[in-house]
Amino acid sequence: MRNPWWLAGLALASGLGQVHAQGQAPTLSGQWQTAREWRLANPLGPALAFAPPSRWRSELDLKTDARLPLPEGRSLALHADAAVTVLHDDGSTATTGTGRVNALYATTDRGDWQFSAGRRIIGWDVGQGFRPNDVVQREERRPLLPATLQGRGVVQLEHFGADDATSLVWVDPQQGHAGSALALRHYQRLGALDLHAHAHWSAATRGNVGAALAWVTSDAVELHASTRWLPALGRHQTLVGGNWTGGPDVTALAEVWHDGQATSSPARRNAYGRLAWQHEAWQVSADVLWQPADGGRVLGAGLRWQGDQWRVEAVWRVFGGPASAALRHTPTRQTGALAMTRSF
């Protein structure tokens, strides 16, 4: 059976029913977001038919957690996260709605050991613009608007110590040998230094190993680095970066990386920077992604207001560079969004 999520949902619903029967009501949280997204087609890019249209988007994301007591003082934790999205593209007479399960898993523990199974979001690594060792979730970095990720099917075994943790993950076991993968991570804290060791195997990349570190050198400076070596492909992915905090109001991020698995030569070398200024509930930010091989760049700016339950934000991004740059020929030349989000 290649898609057992309906069985997992049935098991979770049964578990939540047992929890409620024992007088332990599950918790419910979530958020609602509505957004207007603009996309301006690139006259230098592919045919305009490939340019995504501007649209209205509204999404409701609900999360629930519950805990079922087990013998010997143990417990079974249950978590579900589902979202419903409604889209209306400019120029279309129809409105479409889709639903998805972002997370649906159960967790139990025994002493220092923890076991989890189901669809779960597992994000690893230390980078911001790029993460070489994010081998489980493989999250898209730098989205236009923050969004809840959709987890992967996993079977996970973890061991926790006072200053270390080890995790073994079987990724997408329902896909069989050709589509599944094994991932191992060990984390060790040494004072202000965090160390990570990674190993990963899949049919596509065979065995590969990685390492990462994050070092808080002072109250104002944090340095981080990550690398992953893929011997079967003869390639590597490496990132080096740092954060600087200028008091409570100003933060700056700078990173450079090499992505040996990028599909185009210009996208293999990248430099990224972000500057943000915070004043009470308001934040203003600006960022740039530069590809020195051909001079391509992506410029971005954002404005955000954050209240107790409401968040309002506006973002804009422009793709540019010399006429020969790959980023100058993307289907979309400019993209932006205005969004309003309420959490509960």
Q: How far apart are CA 284 and CA 292, in angstroms?
A: 26
Tokens of 300: 């971005």
pTM of the model: 0.87
Taking the alpha carbons of 57, 34, 60, 173 in that order, is the dihedral positive or negative? Answer: positive
Q: 50: pLDDT confidence band, cut at 50, 70 and 90?
A: low
pLDDT score recorded for residue 96: 94
For 288-321, the pLDDT digits (tens) are: 999 999 999 999 999 999 999 999 999 999 999 9
Q: How far apart are CA 338 and CA 86, in angstroms?
A: 16
Of the listed ranges 11-25, 158-172, 270-284, the least confidently predicted one is 11-25
pLDDT score recorded for residue 10: 45
pLDDT at 239 over 80: yes
For 85-119, the pLDDT digits (tens) are: 999 999 888 899 999 999 999 999 998 999 999 99
Sequential DSSP letters for 53-121:
PPEEEEEEEEEEEEEEE-GGG-EEEEEEEEEEEEEEETT-S--EEEEEEEEEEEEEEETTEEEEEEEE-
Q: What is the mean pLDDT of the chain?
A: 90
For 279-288, the pLDDT digits (tens) are: 999 999 999 9
Taking the alpha carbons of 303, 305, 306, 310 in that order, is the dihedral positive or negative? Answer: negative
